[in-house]
Amino acid sequence: MKKEDENKRKKNKLKISVVGPRGYTGSETIKILSLHPYVDEIQLLSLSEDDKQKEEQTQPEITKSIPSFRKYLQKVSKIEKFSEEKLEGSSAIFFCTEQNKAHKIVSRIIESGISSFVIDLSPDFRFKDVGQYKKVYGFDHAIPSAIQKTVYGLTELYREKIKESEIVANPGCYPTATLLGIAPLIKYAKKQGLNIEWIIVDAKSGVTGAGRKALPHLTLAYLSENIKVYAWSEHRHVPEMQEKLKELFDISPPLNFTAQLIPAKRGILETIWIKLDEKPETDKIFEEYQNFSQKNFFFDFWGEELPDIYSVTGTNFIRVGIKCKDNIIMVVSVLDNLIKGASGQAVQNLNIKFGYDEKVGLELPPIFT
Ligand SMILES: NC(=O)c1ccc[n+]([C@@H]2O[C@H](COP(=O)([O-])OP(=O)(O)OC[C@H]3O[C@@H](n4cnc5c(N)ncnc54)[C@H](OP(=O)(O)O)[C@@H]3O)[C@@H](O)[C@H]2O)c1
């Protein structure tokens, strides 16, 4: 970090650039950052070519994406067309872009000497294994050397490394719910020398998980009073979970997955089934979860009570409940895909990197209807 940027940080005057602001995660990021007390300026940069009016706007066009936020946008610039030079002087850059965009831009900005902290909400830096980008997402990575400087932004499990990182790869929404939901259970199993025979993740998501694009199966007529299974174990988030289970816990159990769309705007509910090779001591599993919950503000353990999407909507919390029967454990993990599953966790990572309290800007009053 340059001296000038370091001084700004100390004076709590961060300038943040948001690339890809009009999508769901872009809008949610702007919303959170615009109420963040240490953020002074939010620059919005669009990669889209389609809107000739962008440069001529007299007020931020972002009000079209988030009209309900009109009077909270004092720190927010109008949307400008993206160029690398405009990133100069940013304390941090948030990429809220579709896949296969951020890695190319990061490769160019590193070349031109811009040293801003990067938080990428897209999948472009999530894998450590560089071959996975081609295999899973179909592109060759533009800057494999930067992958080694990248830390996976699953805050509760990578906090210390995030402090030292230059690039944070914000996790996928499903992997956040799965990996955090089962982390205490895996820690317990490892301590006791128990093996995990298999994991089944049955995931349900609101439609914002698919982004803003208009697709026939995301229309009101199709999805209201409907539920659709849209992916199973070939889902792109499965290799992400597998790599991180190996990296974090040195385990590679069979992992089966289904993803279903539900007629809701936001939220993920995962029912995760795990089979251990022996019957566990359930009180010790509960203890492990309680300890994890105490150490991590945004991880809220409910014991045997099973949380629902309603309990997390509009918040940065992940809430988890469990049931144990013989050697099978069922974990229910819920979060808001746009907050803990994306923009909220990204801001949590920003706070950690810049030495702020992790909760700053994230104690969001929940939506209650
Ligand atoms: N949605 C989730 O729950 C979620 C969770 C975790 C991670 N992610 C990841 O985050 C990234 C962004 O996801 P997203 O859900 O924010 O995608 P999205 O809503 O589909 O937006 C993607 C991009 O579309 C562009 N766009 C073009 N024309 C637009 C228009 N008329 N209105 C709105 N946007 C327009 C926006 O860029 P401009 O503003 O430059 O035009 C935006 O960056 C993806 O890589 C995704 O995998 C998403």
- Give pLDDT tens digits for 308-352: 999 999 999 999 999 999 999 999 999 999 999 999 999 999 999
- Alpha-carbon distance of 91 to 9, in angstroms, equals 8
- Taking residues 195-208, report their average pLDDT: 97
- Taking residues 130-142, report their average pLDDT: 97
- Alpha-carbon distance of 215 to 298, in angstroms, equals 33
Examine domains 3-148 and 174-337 and report if their fold is the same: no
| Beta carbons of 120 and 146 less than 8 angstroms apart | no
pLDDT at 109 over 50: yes
Average pLDDT, the chain: 93
- Taking residues 64-79, report their average pLDDT: 86
The residues with which 95 forms a beta bridge, in sequence order, are 19, 120
Indicate whether residue 212 lines ligand 1 (CB < 6 A).
Answer: yes
Looking at residue 67, its pLDDT comes to 86
Instruction: Say which residues have a Cβ less than 8 Å from residue 348's Cβ, sequence separation at least 6.
Output: 155, 298, 316, 358, 362
Q: In terms of DSSP H, where are the helices of 140-172?
A: 144-147, 155-163
- Report the share of the chain in percent with pLDDT over 70: 94
CA of 339 to the centre of ligand 1 (A): 14
pLDDT at 111 over 70: yes
Residue with the nearest Cα to atom 28 of ligand 1?
Answer: 48
Encode pLDDT of 89-100 as tens digits: 999 999 999 999
- Taking residues 270-277, report their average pLDDT: 98
Indicate whether residue 46 lines ligand 1 (CB < 6 A).
Answer: yes
Indicate whether residue 239 lines ligand 1 (CB < 6 A).
Answer: no
The answer to whether the predicted template modeling score (pTM) of the entire model surpasses 0.75 is yes
Higher pLDDT, 66 or 211: 211
CA of 79 to the centre of ligand 1 (A): 15
- Alpha-carbon distance of 294 to 194, in angstroms, equals 24
pLDDT band for position 264 (cuts 50, 70, 90)? very high
pLDDT band for position 213 (cuts 50, 70, 90)? confident
- Report the share of the chain in percent with pLDDT over 90: 83
Give the residue extent of every domain in the chain: 3-148, 174-337
- Alpha-carbon distance of 91 to 151, in angstroms, equals 18
Indicate whether residue 213 lines ligand 1 (CB < 6 A).
Answer: yes
- Alpha-carbon distance of 342 to 173, in angstroms, equals 6
Which CATH topology does 3-148 take? Answer: Rossmann fold (3.40.50)
CA of 351 to the centre of ligand 1 (A): 23
pLDDT at 58 over 50: no
- Alpha-carbon distance of 10 to 7, in angstroms, equals 5
- Alpha-carbon distance of 218 to 187, in angstroms, equals 38
Which one of 24, 45, 103, 318 would you pick to mutate in the ligand 1 pocket, going by the greatest count of ligand atoms within 8 A of its CB?
24
Residue with the nearest Cα to atom 17 of ligand 1?
Answer: 211
Amino acid identity of residue 118, one-letter, is V
Indicate whether residue 171 lines ligand 1 (CB < 6 A).
Answer: no
Looking at residue 59, its pLDDT comes to 45
- Mention the CATH class of domain 174-337: alpha beta
pLDDT band for position 61 (cuts 50, 70, 90)? confident
| Beta carbons of 139 and 230 less than 8 angstroms apart | no
Higher pLDDT, 112 or 328: 328
Indicate whether residue 29 lines ligand 1 (CB < 6 A).
Answer: no
Residue with the nearest Cα to atom 14 of ligand 1?
Answer: 211
Looking at residue 65, its pLDDT comes to 79
What is the number of the ligand 1 atom nearest to the C-alpha of 64?
32
Residue with the nearest Cα to atom 29 of ligand 1?
Answer: 22
Q: How far apart are the first and last CA of the chain?
A: 43
Q: Which of these ranges, 31-40, 195-204, 331-340, 359-368, has the smallest mean pLDDT?
A: 359-368
| Beta carbons of 320 and 294 less than 8 angstroms apart | no
Q: Which two tokens stand for residue 186?
A: 């895996």
Q: Which two tokens stand for residue 341?
A: 């599953």
Catalytic site residues? Answer: 173
Looking at residue 51, its pLDDT comes to 53
φ and ψ at residue 34, rounded to 5 degrees? -70, -15
Indicate whether residue 23 lines ligand 1 (CB < 6 A).
Answer: yes
Instruction: Say which residues have a Cβ less than 8 Å from residue 175's Cβ, sequence separation at least 6.
Output: 154, 237, 240, 241, 244
Looking at residue 5, its pLDDT comes to 56
Q: Which two tokens stand for residue 157?
A: 């499990």
Higher pLDDT, 10 or 191: 191
pLDDT at 297 over 60: yes
